[in-house]
Amino acid sequence: MNALLNGRISFRTFHCCLCLIALLASLNAWSDTRDDILSVTVFEDHERYVEASQSYGLSWQLFEIAAAHAQFELRVVPTSWQASMSRIRNEKVDIVFAALKTSEREKWATFSLPLMTESSAIFAHPEHAIDKFEDIDLEKSTIGVSAESLQEELAVELGFKNIYATERRPQLYEMLKGKRLDFLFFGVSIINYYCLSYNTQNTPQCMKQVSPDYHPDGVHAISLTRNKKASKKLAQINQAILELRHSREYKAVFSQYPNGNSLYENWLNRLDALIAKRN
């Protein structure tokens, strides 16, 4: 009798667990369709990038404030760049944060108003023999890039023959540290993440730039153009940025940085010029 009773209790418990799981799954599916939820992919180790990179950190704060102003609840998804591209194309996420504009992406993506300016460049360890791009042996040198990134496209255009592209950005830092790569191709301010996270000597100049800046552009958030719901949400973010551009909230974000006043004025001038061009 006790065994039977225990069996009934176990069955009932199991049945209740299944019902609870089904309920939670349905609630989660419902929440994903809510108009006030904005799902956005960000870099792996997102908080460290916010701390280390001026362009990434400042851009994120502007985006986050705009999302709150537009009354969105952010659902942040840290992931690799390649995974971000897959998610947005398969409509698994509304927005990808920290995208740079390229002609290829313009074919399928809708871009936010520009946030902070970011350029790309080639970097090496300070002790590396190469000091300028003209001295790089493009046939033999190995360069690391994030898969499906602007920097991968630029590396091909510049003539590098040995390009190591991976979705695991931290792996590239480790490979450079272990001298299995000669160079990294990243955003100029993004490279500061390396110095913060992988610089065991704790020196401020842990990397040297060995190329000019390439493709200066604003950091953007993007949506898939054919995803009308996501693109509508991005339009609301753009409207919020316009409404906030002269606000105390935005000025306070810029004031956190030593060159905050000039950064704010430059950003505001670029934004106003873009608005005037569109009108």
Same domain? 129 vs 204? yes
Number of structural domains the chain divides into: 2
Q: Which domain holds residue 69?
A: 32-116+219-278
- Rounded to 10 deg, the angle between the 54-69 and 228-244 helix axes is 100
Same domain? 210 vs 272? no
Which pLDDT score is estimated for 171? 86
pLDDT tens by residue, 260-269: 999 999 999 9
Is the per-residue pLDDT at 17 higher than 70?
no
Same domain? 101 vs 125? no
How many CA atoms lie within 13 Å of 127's alpha carbon, on the beta-carbon side? 3
Same domain? 111 vs 232? yes
Contact 150, 106 (CB under 8 A): no
Which pLDDT score is estimated for 5? 42
Minimum mean pLDDT among 13-27, 233-247, 260-274: which range? 13-27
Domain end marker among 200, 215, 230: 215
pLDDT tens by residue, 61-100: 999 999 999 999 999 999 999 999 999 999 999 999 999 9
Bridge partners for 112 per DSSP: none
Same domain? 130 vs 265? no
CA angle at residue 70 from 265 to 241, to 5 degrees?
A: 15
H/E stretch holding 50 reads: helix 46-52
The SS3 call for residue 122 is strand
Same domain? 54 vs 170? no
